[in-house]
A and B are shown apart, each in its own frame.
Chain A
Amino acid sequence: MPPSPATPPGTAPAATAAIVRLEDVRKTYRMGSEEVHALAGVSVAFEPGSFWAIMGPSGSGKSTMLNLLGCLDRPTSGRYILAGEDVSRMDDDALSGIRLTYLGFVFQSFNLIAQLTVRENIELPLFYLGWEPHDSARRAAELAHRVELGARLGHRPAELSGGQQQRVAIARALANDPQVILADEPTGNLDSATGKTIMELLRDLNRQGKTIIIVTHEPEIASWADHRLHMKDGLVDRID
């Protein structure tokens, strides 16, 4: 399948100030003898402080997109510039450093470490940043307070409700003071009322200046974002 040159207008990588910029990014997987183009030439640019939702049916390439944006994977070709750094050819260690410095992750299944307490989970990025235990404990307490879980610092994830766990995950994503927060179906495992509080929290963070990118297939959730990027067959279908 020849890559389609049809890149919708208005997504051209014009703004140099973009925090996230993909330039003709392709990702090809080999499945047996067949090549699968998960991303077939994507060019987008996200402004700092913007709130994006990436949408699309399964198989549209949105998971691949999220992995690339999260620096968990490298593009087969094309460039990915994050906060002014070209991360598309970085080695594993350098990418780890980028994730630690610029990114915060929120997952559908919360992904807290079960044997650690709320405080220790929030402290995790700070541990890898090499913070002193005293400082990181104080910051974890602040962040827990911010997500209204100040009284639960000593609890383990299993003792919390789903919504509370997701708030811990958000606090953890904030610990390293990242520029970009990537959320993968953040409300997927929550009831709609709880999901709403999580989305409110993310929107508040966006208003405080964080760039937020969520991946979702639910239009109601996507409607919280300022921009919606629709993916189809490994390409950007449209932006609204």
Chain B
Amino acid sequence: MALLPQVNLNRTLRLVKLGVKTLLLHKLRSLLTMLGVVFGVGSVIAMLAVGTGASREAQEQIRRLGSQNIIIHSVQPQQDQTTERVRMSIYGLTYDDDARIRETIPFVSRTVPAKLIPQEARVGGRQMELRVVGTTPGWFELVERELLAGRRLQESDMVRSANVTVLTERSARRLLATEQVLGESVRIGSNYYQVVGIIRSETGGTAGGVQTPDQEVDAYIPITTARERFGDIVVRRREGSTERSLVELHQLVVEVDAIENVQAAATAIEHMLRRFHSREDYRVSVPLALLRQAEATQRTFNIVLGSIAGISLLVGGIGIMNIMLASVTERTREIGIRRAIGAKRSQIVGQFLIETIVLSSTGGLIGIAVGVTIPQVIEYFAGMPTVVPLYAVVLSLGISVAVGVIFGIYPAMRAAKLDPIVALRYD
């Protein structure tokens, strides 16, 4: 009879089977024991999924602002004494600022100025409040939106100060019911504008604290036309009082030639603006910096999550170790029998270690299932975007196995160190 020793893998596989069988003998106990790891892994994956989903959305929004862009907004300073009576405030970016940035700041490849004028638009009986954006053709290159019909603004429109407008889809839908919208005339303020194009509207809103350049209900007209028709004074009537403000440019989008020069250009712009503005009536936003900041925030978030994961898995591991130590005591006789028959110490270690690893990695697998399900539920009920990162799943499984090894080694050693003579007599 050949008593050939088999390959190690084969034996390990049989130990895994033995471990599974032993654990199935005490189903409830095994389940309760692995619960720590289940919740540890499950909550970590779920939290990471929600966190990654949220931050990826924020990062996507910031990226849409353009990572090579610097966005400067005019900001109305806190109501100052001088304008209190006059009810006219003068602030913000000027045409000169635009020219200076374009011509003197290094790395700047182009600037797109914009005047933002809230106006009422009418077509026949329909009317709506929209935002007139007086800008240059460059706008459509920096703020990329799908052209649905017609054309965008052109250089020739600028030169002629033409009464033409490009509407966002939402504006067009609310004003023009007809199929054929191109060529229709829209009255904005006191003038008529010919609709030459329709572009896709984006939800707009803010990204990382920066107002997106475009909004859902915009009407784009050449900036030259805007200057001529509306001037630089914006009149806002509210609560019985009239508020006038003189703002030359509301927004300036500066495109930098390369990503690595964005920060330098931004610094130079801030420097320059500080010199020419007595008050801080502008705000410089750098999407790239915001992106970096968002990424850093996520890293911090991940580190915090990682620590929580570490603690919960530590607790789970201690739970497993506790049960395994109890199991070793309970099975002292079995260990004695196996040793008397001829099992080496290392084989006893292997048996108990593999049993612990089976326990912890089963917990890990269940935890992954839980952790992948919870974000789906959150997404379904709370409408939050979630992304389960693959690395989190792989890492969790690896950590569960590691927990088994780390917290299994001591009970397994205890089992192997038992004196077979004593173990055989144990009751």
Q: Say yes or no: A113-B347 contact (C-beta < 8 A), given A130-B6, A177-B1.
A: no
Q: Say yes or no: A97-B342 contact (C-beta < 8 A), given A107-B424, A130-B11.
A: yes
Q: Which residues of chain B are within 8 angstroms of A125 by Cβ–Cβ distance?
A: 341-342
* Contacting residue for B342 out of A112, A128, A131, A177, CB 8 A: A128
Within 8 A of A (CB), among B331-353: 333-334, 336-347
Contact B343 A73 (CB under 8 A): no
Contact B22 A93 (CB under 8 A): no
CA distance A221 to B334 in the complex (A): 28
Contact A131 B341 (CB under 8 A): no
CA distance A124 to B336 in the complex (A): 13
Minimal beta-carbon separation of A116 from chain B (angstroms): 9
Q: Which residues of chain B are within 8 angstroms of A105 by Cβ–Cβ distance?
A: 340-341
Among residues of A, the one whose C-beta sits closest to the C-beta of B15 is A127
Q: Say yes or no: A96-B342 contact (C-beta < 8 A), given A67-B421, A113-B334.
A: yes
Contact B341 A100 (CB under 8 A): yes
Contact A99 B6 (CB under 8 A): no
Minimal beta-carbon separation of A182 from chain B (angstroms): 9
Q: Which residues of chain A are within 8 angstroms of B334 by Cβ–Cβ distance?
A: 113
Q: Say yes or no: A92-B337 contact (C-beta < 8 A), given A115-B22, A130-B4.
A: no
Q: Which residues of chain B are within 8 angstroms of A240 by Cβ–Cβ distance?
A: none
Q: Which residues of chain B are within 8 angstroms of A98 by Cβ–Cβ distance?
A: 342
Contact A131 B3 (CB under 8 A): yes
Asked whether B420 is an interface residue with its Cβ less than 8 Å from the other chain, the reply is: yes
Asked whether B124 is an interface residue with its Cβ less than 8 Å from the other chain, the reply is: no
Q: Mark B1-20, 1 if CB is under 8 A from A, else 0.
A: 10111100001001000000
Asked whether A158 is an interface residue with its Cβ less than 8 Å from the other chain, the reply is: no
Among residues of A, the one whose C-beta sits closest to the C-beta of B342 is A100
Minimal beta-carbon separation of A171 from chain B (angstroms): 13
Q: Which residues of chain B are within 8 angstroms of A70 by Cβ–Cβ distance?
A: 340
Q: Mark A98-128, 1 if CB is under 8 A from B, else 0.
A: 1111010101000111010000000011011
Q: Say yes or no: A99-B421 contact (C-beta < 8 A), given A113-B334, A127-B14, A133-B14.
A: no
Asked whether B25 is an interface residue with its Cβ less than 8 Å from the other chain, the reply is: yes
Contact B342 A99 (CB under 8 A): yes
Minimal beta-carbon separation of A83 from chain B (angstroms): 14
Among residues of B, the one whose C-beta sits closest to the C-beta of A100 is B342
Interface Cβ pair total, 8 Å cutoff: 72
Minimal beta-carbon separation of A2 from chain B (angstroms): 28
Contact B421 A129 (CB under 8 A): no
Asked whether A17 is an interface residue with its Cβ less than 8 Å from the other chain, the reply is: no
Q: Which residues of chain B are within 8 angstroms of A67 by Cβ–Cβ distance?
A: 421
* Contacting residue for B333 out of A93, A99, A111, CB 8 A: A111
Within 8 A of A (CB), among B393-427: 420-421, 424
Q: Mark B314-337, 1 if CB is under 8 A from A, else 0.
A: 000000000000000000011011
Contact A128 B424 (CB under 8 A): no
Q: Which residues of chain A are within 8 angstroms of B4 by Cβ–Cβ distance?
A: 130
Q: Say yes or no: A113-B337 contact (C-beta < 8 A), given A127-B14, A132-B6.
A: yes
CA distance A111 to B335 in the complex (A): 11
Minimal beta-carbon separation of B412 from chain A (angstroms): 16
Q: Mark B89-109, 1 if CB is under 8 A from A, else 0.
A: 000000000000000000000
Contact A72 B3 (CB under 8 A): no
Q: Which residues of chain B are within 8 angstroms of A99 by Cβ–Cβ distance?
A: 340-342
CA distance A96 to B343 in the complex (A): 6
Q: Which residues of chain A are within 8 angstroms of B344 by Cβ–Cβ distance?
A: 92-93, 96-97, 128
Contact B345 A93 (CB under 8 A): yes
Among residues of B, the one whose C-beta sits closest to the C-beta of A173 is B341
Q: Say yes or no: A115-B333 contact (C-beta < 8 A), given A107-B424, A128-B342, A129-B3.
A: no
CA distance A127 to B5 in the complex (A): 10
* Contacting residue for A128 out of B336, B341, B420, CB 8 A: B341
* Contacting residue for A101 out of B11, B22, B338, B342, CB 8 A: B342
Q: Which residues of chain A are within 8 angstroms of B6 by Cβ–Cβ distance?
A: 130-132
Query: Can you show 10 pairs from A to B with CB atoms below 8 A apart?
Result: A92-B345, A98-B342, A101-B342, A105-B341, A112-B337, A115-B21, A115-B22, A128-B344, A128-B347, A130-B4
**Which residues does B use to contact A, with CB under 8 Å?**
1, 3-6, 11, 14, 21-22, 25, 333-334, 336-347, 420-421, 424
**Which residues does A use to contact B, with CB under 8 Å?**
67, 70, 72-73, 92-93, 96-101, 103, 105, 107, 111-113, 115, 124-125, 127-133, 172, 176-177
